Structure 1
Amino acid sequence: MLIIVAEMKAGALKKSLGQHFLHDVEVQQKIADAVGNIAEFATIIEVGPGKGALTFKVLEKQPKNYWLVELDNRWAEWLRINAGIYFNNGERILNEDFLNLDFKKFEAPIHIIGNFPYNISSQIVFKAIEEREKVTALTGMFQKEVALRIAASPGTKDYGVLSIFTQLYFDCKYLFDVPPQCFTPPPKVMSGVITIMRHHRKLNCDEADFTKLVKQAFTMRRKTMRNCIRQFLPADFSNIPFLDKRPEQLSIEDFSLLTNLCFPK
């Protein structure tokens, strides 16, 4: 049985850290369930645990190597007092910025979880991509708009750079909505929970050139590819496909083909 022995004073939230605490027990359980089989992962890292709404649900699964990363020193200390016994006497509760975290200390495979601070949620995904040799899954709460962008398919309004670079390495699934009233204080936007799982499909082109092409294309997403990537087109581009389409209509495979045609080796 998990026991909380102390509470922080009301009004202890920091808006600058994007803190909105999830108080809905049913949603807490749904996210914990979405984490799946804990035994599949050598390490679980929770980002921004706050007062442990998700933490205590995940602890019921008895994870072997569970780490908490909390930037707010007050909540990090609160967690050491209330949950330190479950985290190697507090040694696995880190008062650090997740975006600067050194992953060398963690055993792979890693699953990143959390009710992510909305002001850095996209950066958390890019951190997972950066550490993809070790990170095999990420499950958590995002602002719904961001969650939809991560999981978006080609041809939809949400599809863009975040979708492509996440899906280049991970399979993405949007799980469920979470309304504002499930939080304290309630955010002004809807939230959504997604899960992403590492895949190992290879990109059939140079990755640096692919990145350059995709980023350039989406600087003018409402224009056709002919205008978006004009600077990369060869002198004779009569046989180059997709030029009359908009960037959001192209799949990763389409961008890969274009990369090889625009940057022949």
Structure 2
Amino acid sequence: MGKEVRAKKHLGQHFLKDETIAEKIGDTLTMETYKNVLEIGPGMGVLTKYLIEKDAAIIAMDLDTESIAYLKEKYPNKNLKILEADFLKYDLSMLFGKEQFAITGNFPYNISTQIVFKMLEWKEQVPEFTGMFQKEVAQRICEKEGSKAYGILSVLAQAFYDAEYLFTVPPSVFNPPPKVDSGVLRLKRKEDFSIPCSEKMLYRVVKTAFQQRRKTLRNSLKSFNLSDKIKEDTIFDLRPEQLSVSQFIALTQKLQNDAISAH
């Protein structure tokens, strides 16, 4: 058997060594509307082992050459393809063509939020996204309005997906143990995930608002050149964390209409 892979700090690697938890993460996938799964950062394959038991085509993607060699030797399965690549730079249409696929993994903490943003770009093909994050990040993605943790990621993920925080994982089950708790979540794409406003504009509104989260929207959204009429709307008295996802979408629609009528 190939020798153990050493966890590399610069890749943010913490290898999960608890079988029960690995199986639980594997079970977060419902496999309801898809038969393809992409696993990000498989490391030594503790989660991969449970994924290949499912009736699915699995691609395990890792940046770490050593992990890739280890996996190829340990799991020569027919339904598993092992790919040495950087998820953030990879053209995902090369994976499963136009078919739907789920994404899962014990995500490297240093790029976990970027993984979510990239997944959102491919939401047309990703009905489900599950996996392990630093606990605070997992909670933030699932957070509702009114809380300090609610932010850009919460709004943008929940505009298209239903988010559910599933369970917490202690540092002791990793090698090396991280300094923080981890959390596992599930994002399930909404039945109708089209939004009645420009997606680009929604991203701009949400990011601009939360960059100055202590200010009211009237102040933080000045760069949108609001007309005097729209500024009277009471929604602008609020701070970004007070707005629900649907209010952010409605606000974006208002700003779009205001920009049109202002010219």
- TM-score normalized by structure 2? 0.91
Cα-to-partner distance string for 1:114-152 (whole Å, 9 max, x where unaligned): 101011111111111111111111110000111011111
Q: Which residue of 1 aligns with 2:210?
A: 218
Alignment counterpart, residue 129 of structure 2, candidates 116, 131, 138: 138
Rounded Cα–Cα distance in structure 2 between residues aligned with 1:87 and 1:260? 45
Structure 1, unmatched stretches of 5+, are: none
Q: Which residue of 1 aligns with 2:4?
A: 8
- Between structures 1 and 2, the one with greater helix share: 2
Q: Which residue of 1 aligns with 2:71?
A: 79
Rounded Cα–Cα distance in structure 2 between residues aligned with 1:33 and 1:212? 35
Cα-to-partner distance string for 1:10-35 (whole Å, 9 max, x where unaligned): xx211000100111122112111112
Shift of 1:40: 3.6
Judged with a 3 Å threshold, the aligned counterparts in structure 2 of structure 1 residues 201 and 133 are, in CA distance, closer, same or farther, namely closer
Cα-to-partner distance string for 1:91-124 (whole Å, 9 max, x where unaligned): x200111112222231421011110101111111
**1:97 is aligned to 2:90:** no
CA contact (8 A) 2:51 2:58 kept: no
Shift of 1:157: 1.3
Q: Which residue of 1 aligns with 2:241?
A: 248
Q: Which residue of 1 aligns with 2:27?
A: 33
Rounded Cα–Cα distance in structure 1 between residues aligned with 2:196 and 2:79? 43
Structure 1 runs (4+) greater than 6 angstroms displaced: none
Cα-to-partner distance string for 1:185-214 (whole Å, 9 max, x where unaligned): 100011000011111243222222222221
Rounded Cα–Cα distance in structure 2 between residues aligned with 1:148 and 1:64? 29
Percent identity at matched positions? 42
Shift of 1:161: 0.6
Rounded Cα–Cα distance in structure 2 between residues aligned with 1:146 and 1:87? 31
Structure 2, unmatched stretches of 5+, are: none
Rounded Cα–Cα distance in structure 1 between residues aligned with 2:168 and 2:206? 29
The farther-off stretch of 161-170 and 99-108 is 99-108
CA contact (8 A) 2:26 2:50 kept: yes
Q: Which residue of 2 aligns with 1:129?
A: 120
CA contact (8 A) 2:38 2:102 kept: yes
Alignment counterpart, residue 227 of structure 2, candidates 216, 223, 234: 234
- TM-score normalized by structure 1? 0.90
- Opposite residue 90 of structure 2, the aligned amino acid is L
Shift of 1:87: 4.6
